[in-house]
A and B are shown apart, each in its own frame.
Chain A
Amino acid sequence: MSSVFWYNSCILGYVLALFIYSFNLGLRKSFWRRLATIIVASSFLLQTIGMVFRWMEAGHIEVAAVERATSETLTGLSRWLVFTQHPPWSNLYEIMVYMSWGIVLVFLVCEVKWRVRFMGIFALLISLTAFGVASLTDGVIKPLVPALKSWWIMVHVISASIAYAAGTLAAIASLLYLVKAKDKLPLTALSSGMMGLSVFLALVLGRGFSLLSDAAYRVKLLREMGGDYIGVGKIIEEKFVPYYVASPGVGPALLIAILLCLLASVVLFKARKKSDIPTGWVKISYFAGVLAMLTVAIIMISNDLLMTNVTVDAKVAPSLLPPGPWRLALQSNMWDLGFLCFILLGQIFIGLVILFPEKIRALLPSVNQLDRVAYSNIMVAFSLVAVVLVTGALWAHYAWGRYWGWDPKETGALVIWLNYALYLHTRVTYGWTGTRSAVIAILGFFIILAGFLGVNLGWFANGLHSYGSA
């Protein structure tokens, strides 16, 4: 059996548990909650088995590659060392699977310790999104590059995964805290903040100025080759530069969505002192924003699925390689799709709260419990990011001769760490335990996204960690 078999059964388990958690919210029977938690735990076990299988698959490939290259047969300890050197977190596919594993692990700990099944819905959705994006990346195991052949990769990446998962769980708990703490933060203000955040994230999604300058949203052009999709591009100064085409309709739709969200944000912000729950036009403005965002998602996905034959400007077409027919696919903008999932997840959840405020608030754990979950998770994240930074520094010292080089990835981890330091210090200094801490914790999630994934995806300047990219 291959790792994919285990992963698929684990995904099935997560989906099942997600359904039980969601439907059980109305029933509030502890039997169903326990059943769902047991399903999550056993699926987690399946995923762990899958990762062990993946490790072994990689091991066989490493051994075969070395044997083919040296024409010698490896035995005993030397075979074992080659066999184990490729852990299942060394390319982007594996990292995404591994992150979803970490999130479920931290959720299980929180659930056992504090009974926070509501967070399970979010944890499982994020975990499944990570799986979804992973399934679109190139999952082929390639022999490890020499720089990654080190035992430091084990502790470095393990702590990173758990740290970032704990940060994610802290952000979820903080979001729920903001929903629950109605005497501290009215729902109007929260939904205004959600809409404001959506505007910012949508601008990031549309590559900021490029979207505003010509109202076009660009995705990678692909060529289908034996079931795989290969990026199309041209060669400029000996370098392959991927070619992007505008996905029709998405740009204007995204602009409209941004405008509607901005409008909703302003309207909701003005209404924050009048009422807790938005009503009338204020409420409609919120759902108009959500609807616009949903439309963007629908146009994006249908473009990706339906545009199987893309024609390109005749001047450029001859210089593009490999030659046509070209098409779009989910792989053209998979990271944006994952990103959009997060925006919609937040928007729809807050939308549900606006529709059923009292019901949902009654279902959430108490304010103290949520604050405690967030605080504990951030302490774990802060300590483990310190481990990530230190093991990274030691590894860099032994491999490159410098322990710190202001590489974007290193800086990113430092930003994540300092953000949590800020959280802990504001708590001590100003006694920020409520809404403001929660906002820092939620920001922490996006800083993790930028510092962890953004660097691998080349949002920033190139660095030494780019060998993790797909």
Chain B
Amino acid sequence: MGLSLLHHRLFAFFASLKLTIIILTLLLFGLIVGMFWDQTLTLQEHLSSISQTSLFSQFFIFFELDDVFHSWWFSVVILLLALNLIACSIERLPKIWIDIHHPERILTERLFKKAAHHIKATMPFTQAMRFIDKVFPEKSYRICHDDDFYAFHEKHKYARTGVYVVHIALLMIMFGSMATTNLGIDGMMMIVEGDQEHSVHIKGPGGLTFQHELNFNVVCRDFRLKSFVDGSPMAFESDLAIFHKNDSVNPVATQTIRVNEPLQYEGYTFYQASYQPMSGDSQIRLSIGPHGGTRKNYTLPIGAKAQMPDQTSLIPIEVIQDYGGLGEAVKIQQVSKDGQATTFVVFRQYPDFDPMVRRGEWDVFFQGFDQVYATGVSVARVPFIAVVFLGFVFMFIGLFMAFCMSHRRYFVSVKKINEEDCELSFAGIARRHPHAFADEFQKLTNWIKP
């Protein structure tokens, strides 16, 4: 096989639309696998739940099912898609470009038969010319050959390039995402209030974390959590300051960051993402009193006793972050004076639950925590983000061109039969919205009886 033949065949392979269909199917398959399989676990966590020596675990490791979207085979499919998009565009765009600028404008017999919609009828000249003036604007192409007259008109001739604009947009987005995966950074920093931090935790391949060292320090001067009365967060913000490594006095940048209000420094962007109460430092605020009576406030760590006048003690033993969708709750152990222990749960959001539903000897209200927080800052460096965003813009332009504009061509030929009558052939081609064009053609020609 000659080199040119190989080249030809390879190109034909990559430029075929059938390959597109196969790639799309494969891609869909990959995405669905990735959706069903928990991608947040590491390889080790996955393997611990399946037998180590089984064929399936070999299969699992080979196809990197713990990180489908960054696996070799998924990358191959994406790469194939990119090659396919490029080859398709090289194959088809020049032909379309030539056809846009040099269309076939004379309605030949061959073209007449090829057109999806066509009609031929005999009628007086005047009638034919009136029809032509109605359908074909003055500026449209008109020519006389011998005794025959031809006209040609088209609408939205560039609409056909819309598909390729979308394809170029997709290539731009794919290029951008490749740059992000290989050159970008997407990680987290947990900074305790008043502390400084310079390493970013990044989730790498296989769900393993590694650290990226910044060449400056980020200090969290203060973290403020504003919460609603029921304990759910209303807003949270951190005062961040950035210092050079060898300077701890003069900050080079300071800003208060909130959700949707990040700090940008040296190509890095710091987003307020989350917060975390520091373990061991949480104090639980309880309000306790006899059933229906007046209550007193207590602030206790886990395991500490609140002593009641009748020697009963109440001990918060566990904090539950989200009790079945009912929000924060605390498990309380009640030890009566003869040593009998019972446990129950009180909710922060439902203060009525304890006196109304549980109806214990003591009413216990859970009012929240006193604690020190660590602010969760997500750190990102996204190179070539502009290419991705430009790709988005191109995609919408392309989609608009492809779907909202429909390329339509109208051809007419008038052939002289005698001094008064002529044979009018009218044909139309539409590349999109065939049904709508059929309606339009019908409307234009419903007065003609072939």
Taking a contact as CB atoms closer than 8 A, the residue among B31, B323, B382 that contacts A402 in the complex is B382
- Kindly state whether residue A404 has any CB partner on chain B within 8 Å: yes
Contact A230 B326 (CB under 8 A): yes
By DSSP majority rule, is chain A's interface helix, strand, loop, or mixed?
Answer: helix
Contact A146 B38 (CB under 8 A): no
- Kindly state whether residue A398 has any CB partner on chain B within 8 Å: yes
Contact B322 A240 (CB under 8 A): yes
Contact B229 A65 (CB under 8 A): yes
Contacts of A149 in B (CB 8 A): 259-260
- Kindly state whether residue B324 has any CB partner on chain A within 8 Å: yes
> Which of B56-64, B122-130, B281-289, B395-403 binds A?
B395-403
Taking a contact as CB atoms closer than 8 A, the residue among A383, A401, A411, A426 that contacts B399 in the complex is A383
Contact B324 A231 (CB under 8 A): yes
List CB contacts (< 8 Å) of B3-30 with chain A: 17-18, 20-21, 24-25, 27-28
Taking a contact as CB atoms closer than 8 A, the residue among B35, B232, B259, B320 that contacts A142 in the complex is B232
Contacts of A233 in B (CB 8 A): 324
Taking a contact as CB atoms closer than 8 A, the residue among B260, B271, B331, B396 that contacts A390 in the complex is B396
Contacts of B396 in A (CB 8 A): 386-387, 390
Contacts of B311 in A (CB 8 A): none
> Which of B105-113, B233-241, B412-420 binds A?
B233-241
Contact A404 B259 (CB under 8 A): no
Interchain CA distance A70-B227 in the complex, whole Å:
9
- Contact flags B277-315 to A (C-beta < 8 A → 1, else 0): 000000000000000000000000000000000000000
- Kindly state whether residue B91 has any CB partner on chain A within 8 Å: no
- How close is A252's CB to chain B, nearest CB, in angstroms? 27
Given A242-B324, A383-B403, A425-B20, do A372 and B435 touch, yes or no (CB 8 Å)? yes
By DSSP majority rule, is chain B's interface helix, strand, loop, or mixed?
Answer: mixed
List CB contacts (< 8 Å) of A368-402 with chain B: 368-369, 371-372, 375, 379, 382-383, 386-387, 390, 393-394, 397-402
Contact B69 A406 (CB under 8 A): yes
Contact B259 A147 (CB under 8 A): yes
Given A401-B378, A401-B380, A415-B28, do A422 and B177 touch, yes or no (CB 8 Å)? no
Interchain CA distance A451-B388 in the complex, whole Å:
24
Chain B: residues with Cβ within 8 Å of the partner, total of 65
- Kindly state whether residue B135 has any CB partner on chain A within 8 Å: no
Chain A: residues with Cβ within 8 Å of the partner, total of 67
- How close is B143's CB to chain A, nearest CB, in angstroms? 33
List 12 additional A-B contacts (Cβ < 8 Å) besides A146-B234, A403-B382: A147-B259, A240-B322, A372-B436, A399-B271, A402-B378, A411-B69, A412-B35, A415-B28, A419-B28, A421-B24, A425-B24, A429-B21
CB<8 Å pairs between A and B, sample of 25: A69-B226, A142-B230, A142-B232, A145-B233, A225-B357, A238-B321, A240-B324, A321-B345, A371-B435, A383-B399, A394-B389, A394-B392, A398-B262, A401-B262, A401-B379, A411-B35, A415-B35, A418-B27, A418-B31, A422-B21, A422-B25, A461-B35, A461-B36, A461-B38, A462-B40
In the A-B complex, the 8 residue pairs with the closest CB atoms: A401-B380, A461-B38, A372-B435, A429-B17, A240-B324, A406-B69, A401-B271, A146-B259
